[in-house]
Chain A
Amino acid sequence: MAKARGNVFFDNDRCKGCELCTTVCPVDIITIDRNTINKKGYHPAHVTQPEKCIACGNCALVCPDLVITIERVA
């Protein structure tokens, strides 16, 4: 079976930079973006290599602030 491919979107201004999503990604592509400050004043989480996302859902499951939306591409 081919691996699922996902598109993951972060609604940056909702993010509080809590880091909970950064340790649950099986392909390890989520980090805190220290070069950005969002409207709330936090460094938001972002995805470094979006093409690697496998749409597992873990990041959205642990995010307390409804920042993340995930689509399965294939």
Chain B
Amino acid sequence: MSVVFEKTKGLTEKEFHYCPGCTHGIIHRLVAEVLEEMDLLGDAIGVAPVGCAVLAYDYFNCDMHEAAHGRAPAVATGVKRALPEKTVFAYQGDGDLASIGTAEIVHAAHRGENITVIFVNNAIYGMTGGQMAPTTMIGQRTTTSPFGRNAEQTGAPIRIAEMLATIEGASFIERTSVHNPVHIRKAKKAIRTAFECQQNRKGFSMVEVLSTCPTNWGMSPLASLGWVAENMIPYYPLGNFRNPDKEA
């Protein structure tokens, strides 16, 4: 008899507070599994965001730090520079990273900080009740775009992975999704590669993960997975945008 799947030691026993079917839980698990498999739990320091993942410090079974809204890459920079032998990651939502924290993420990449960022893009501000984010899709109804997002008024959704990939200091940039088992496996592989990049001192790494917010999207968890596949992936293409091992 062999164990095919059991809860990773990278997570504490604490049960997630996330809404039913919210894929933040899947993404937490993937990060924790990678840290366990790379034997980094004793060495990793994570930085939690402001957003639904604000309590991530209760869930990851490693040292954790909280940051002000959008400032996780700046806090992670300080931690990494003070303790360069530690593995440092930030876990951020799209409101956190792509709105209030745009300067911090751009300049962390620009400086080539040797940190890893997990960017959870669910196209909305989940925690505060479903306001529009810069990543909200055209036509998507939110509490602050009740008739659907309109590009004339608020621009078109921002593609963070593509934008950061133009920055020389960015070493590994990939966009993934967790809407089905195949993509969950691929997302885990990308997260592992990002942490390996940091271990090999290659500089800034980020994995964007397309995620759901069934509660504020106003859909069932299953319908939300379908919505990622049908509406988000065509606009936010999955794939690698920068990889230190593939450069000429």
Q: Write the residues of chain A forming the contact surface with B, with a CB cutoff of 8 angstroms.
A: 6-7, 14, 16-20, 23-24, 42, 55, 57-58, 60-66, 68-73
Contacts and interface: CB of A to CB of B under 8 A. Distances in A.
A62 B25 CA distance: 9
Nearest to B1: A71
Contact of B181 (A16, A18, A19, A61): A61
A71 B4 contact: yes
Contacts of B220: 19
Contact of A20 (B1, B15, B222): B222
Contacts of A68: 5
Interface of B: 1-7, 11, 15-16, 18-26, 29, 180-181, 184-185, 214, 220-222, 225
A19 B21 contact: yes
A46 B16 CA distance: 20
A37 to B, nearest CB: 14
30 contacts: A14-B15, A16-B20, A17-B20, A18-B214, A18-B222, A19-B21, A19-B221, A20-B221, A20-B222, A24-B181, A55-B4, A57-B4, A57-B181, A60-B5, A62-B184, A63-B25, A63-B26, A64-B23, A64-B24, A64-B25, A66-B11, A68-B5, A69-B6, A70-B4, A70-B6, A71-B2, A71-B3, A72-B1, A72-B2, A72-B3
Contacts of A42: 20
A65 B25 contact: yes
